[in-house]
Amino acid sequence: MTTAGDEGGDAASSVAGLKGLWIDTIVEALRNGEIDLAVHSAKDLPAEDDDDLTIGAVPERGDPHDVLVMADAGEPGPGTRIGTSSLRRRAQLLAAYPGVEVVQLRGNVPTRLRKVTDGEVTGAVVAAAGLERLGLEPSHARSLSVDVMVPAPCQGTLAVQCRAGDRITAAVLTVLEHRPSRIALEAERALMRRLDGGCSLPLGAIAAAKRDTVRLAGLVASPDGSRIVRAAAETREPERAADLVAEQLLTGGADRILEESRGA
């Protein structure tokens, strides 16, 4: 199924980075009964489920990291043009690689990689899981550690959505459920709700469920990369971890950064 994000053009340009861009057609088909379940990149979903829809299964998470794909083997430096439409990626690129030029780059993964090959940009940042699922292994690709770039909330996670009340489909979907990935998803979505943030804001989050606890790390950065606030917490409950990380981030000034980003 083709979404507004796949189609690009004016529709994608006007709402670039906003949630709904990559799921609109699919969610409409689910609501209308044309399909019985929908598979999304969880990072494209809003932080809260609509009343008529639910996440029936969260399969095992893929690689959550970002990948920097370059046109050659060189290191990013002053004047290097790196493409992304994400404020989160932009901010962390500017902080990690002083002097690089970050330019707007829209479209799906193959489109962005083609623009690197064609020389429109020197490099582009894409999700590792997206490359894996498309079977793509571009040359001169390097995984970015969390120290360099904290991923988007729920990046690398699939969400299998069904209609609320559809007990037959929900029962079938239980075979896909991976509990540690669900817990991580819940923690990261909870942090998004606490900060009223999404993929259009410079917010990063990554959680990992251990035997009895979940560890959540979060980041908020100014779009120019000059201010970065980090926080982390480990607790038994995903919601509690989100509360603690949100409190630390807000105490560090994240609320001001997010407000400025919303007004930009």
Tokens of 29: 């088909």
* Other CB atoms within 10 A of residue 201 CB: 22
Angle at alpha carbon of residue 44, lines to 40 and 49, rounded to 5°: 80
CA dihedral in degrees (259, 17, 203, 83; nearest 10)?
Answer: -110
d(CA 54, CA 159): 9
Q: Are 68 and 142 spatial neighbours (Cβ–Cβ below 8 Å)?
A: yes
Among this protein's residues, is 50 annotated catalytic? no
Residue 49's nearest CA partner among 60, 38, 59 is 38
Q: Which helix or strand (DSSP H or E) is residue 89 part of?
A: helix 87-96
Cα(153)–Cα(156) distance, integer angstroms: 9
Question: CB-hemisphere CA count at 13 Å for 256?
Answer: 6
Which of 36, 44, 166, 212 is flagged as catalytic? 44
**62 secondary structure, DSSP code:** -
Length, in residues, of the chain: 264
**Residues near 167 by beta carbon (within 8 Å), at least 6 away in sequence:** none
CB 152 within 8 A of CB 42: no
Supply the residues annotated as catalytic.
44
